[in-house]
Structure 1
Amino acid sequence: MKSFTRHSPSSLNLFAASPALFVLEKIMGHRQPGNAPMYRGTAVEDGVTHGLMNPAASPDECNDVAFKKYDTISALSSDKRREEYRATIPAMVQLALEELRPYGIPTDCQKFVEWRPKGLVYPIVGYLDYHWSDHNITIDLKTSEKMPSAVKVAHARQISLYVTSNNADARACYVTPKKHTTYQIENVDAHRNALHQMALRCEAFLALSEDPEFFKSITIPDLDSFYWAGPARELAFQHWKI
């Protein structure tokens, strides 16, 4: 597939979870619009990053950074939850800073990571959130409505990529509007190997044809899945006639 140039943990997780949506987004180019939870996650991360890089920054200052980001990226959104999610940003920024400021000022923020394991045509790439070289700790910030009882497998795969070159202590920091906690990623090598295996199968899939219509003919959307809510549902009818 000539238009395909690289893998990411999110695209590989999508390929595993919903091949038809992978076809729709990555092969046919119909990217789904953002939503309030996504916008909030991006905004909270901006506010937290400002607070980590500037230890003396006040809560209001960090919140202003987050609000500015949220309002900018959600300006054209029709998501009815927009104001509801905006209201939870200050609490999440402050909870995340409570959790992460004790580590000190990060050495790296949003650092590009590229991995080229044997057998792959395309690299697997991503951007780690925070790395502290003095502790050799890498942490990815995740925002959520509910606190998970353990690291989600998709997140563990993602974070395993970020410590490929430095064998850092990999962790996931989860923040909800009311809680925060950090989980250590166990079995990092196994999660990274899973990412490699997913990429190998993704490339075998992509090698089947250069024709997007072919991939439509061998996949089918699961309309009961949350992946096919909103605009994607209309596209399922348009392209798969279901």
Structure 2
Amino acid sequence: MSNPFERHDIGHLSASSLNLWAAEPALWIMERLLGRRSPSGIPAARGKAVEAGVNIGLHDPALPVEACIAEAESAFDRETALNPDPRRDDERKKLPGYVRGALAELRQYGLPDADGYQGKVEIRLDDIAVPVIGFVDWRFSGHGLIVDLKTTERLPSVIGASHGRQGAVYATAHGNFGMRFAYAKPAPAKGDGRQVQVLEMSGDDVRAHLAALRLIALSLGRFLALSHDARELAGLIVPDFDSFYWSDPSVRAAGRDVFGF
């Protein structure tokens, strides 16, 4: 079998998967090859919940913000029902601020495409045997834009590499559409009052991040080609348990079980 991804039952890649391989290969192996999946963390649950609340508010401009906040809180409660993370209550209190700020910014774009929310996209990278897929937040065809919402505690001045790779997939799948990230804080900044920072990728950004994704995928393919045995591959990598990727106690425990220390 010449396809190293196929031999490990990997039918597709994603920007998030390739970002994880680049940042913490041991966790990628534990999750993707050995099936020891990590529970969804509180920041991820917060992001999904805010998206859910903002989405219904974008598709129904007359819907009161309070109803959108209620949707976000309900989604957060479902996602974190069994999560013992002590940050849960504090993050839940911030949901109204995130939803209000994001809606105030994104409702200016008008109605997103009816089929755009979490719409699946797929691209191909040269010399990579499997496709790279992703799921966009919103597509505004009237403006030729893809918009992805990120919740954060601090507004960035540039789009980071991991988000840039994600955006490169979305932009490539949509031809000449622009790719924007809307970074939302739970409250306006004390200095300038900003609560949302919108950053757009240039064509050069897209090409550079797409090239990086291809190189990361090639690296992963070469690694997978070393062995058919996932356990043998795990034995070639050492985890960094000081990394935030291992901050969840259950994830750290699974890692120690897999890697032996």
The corresponding residue for 1:233 is: 252
1:198-228 per-position Cα deviation (integer Å, ceiling 9, x unaligned): 1122122112212111111110001221112
Cα pair 1:99 1:181 within 8 Å, conserved: no
Moved more, 138-147 or 15-24: 138-147
The corresponding residue for 2:200 is: 184
Distance (Å, rounded) in 1 between the aligned partners of 2:109 and 2:8? 43
Distance (Å, rounded) in 2 between the aligned partners of 1:71 and 1:232? 21
Moved more, 46-55 or 210-219: 210-219
The corresponding residue for 1:216 is: 234
The corresponding residue for 1:158 is: 166
Match for 1:119: what amino acid? D
Distance (Å, rounded) in 2 between the aligned partners of 1:70 and 1:209? 40
The corresponding residue for 2:139 is: 131
Distance (Å, rounded) in 2 between the aligned partners of 1:110 and 1:213? 34
Distance (Å, rounded) in 2 between the aligned partners of 1:164 and 1:235? 36
1:72-131 per-position Cα deviation (integer Å, ceiling 9, x unaligned): 111111111111101100110010011111111011221100012231111100001111
SS of the aligned residue for 1:119 comes to coil
The corresponding residue for 1:203 is: 221
Distance (Å, rounded) in 1 between the aligned partners of 2:239 and 2:125? 31
Q: Which runs of 5+ in 1 are unaligned?
A: none
Cα pair 2:8 2:33 within 8 Å, conserved: no
Distance (Å, rounded) in 2 between the aligned partners of 1:42 and 1:156? 19
Distance (Å, rounded) in 2 between the aligned partners of 1:237 and 1:74? 24
Moved more, 62-71 or 231-240: 231-240
Percent of aligned positions that are identical = 38
SS of the aligned residue for 1:126 comes to strand
SS of the aligned residue for 2:155 comes to coil
Matches within 5 A, 1:104-115: 104-107=110-113, 108-115=116-123
The corresponding residue for 1:194 is: 212
Q: Report the Cα offset of residue 3 of structure 1.
A: 2.0
1:29-59 per-position Cα deviation (integer Å, ceiling 9, x unaligned): 1111112211111000000000100000101
The corresponding residue for 2:191 is: none
Distance (Å, rounded) in 2 between the aligned partners of 1:197 and 1:167? 24
For 1:49, which of 55, 59, 78 is the aligned residue? Answer: 55
Matched, 1:74 2:80: yes
TM-score normalized by structure 1? 0.96
The corresponding residue for 1:15 is: 21
Distance (Å, rounded) in 2 between the aligned partners of 1:91 and 1:10? 27
Match for 2:176: what amino acid? N
TM-score normalized by structure 2? 0.89
SS of the aligned residue for 1:102 comes to helix
SS of the aligned residue for 1:117 comes to coil
Distance (Å, rounded) in 2 between the aligned partners of 1:183 and 1:113? 21
The corresponding residue for 2:3 is: none
Number of equivalent positions: 242
Q: Following superposition, which runs of at least 4 residues in structure 1 exceed 3 angstroms of deviation?
A: none
Distance (Å, rounded) in 1 between the aligned partners of 2:130 and 2:44? 27
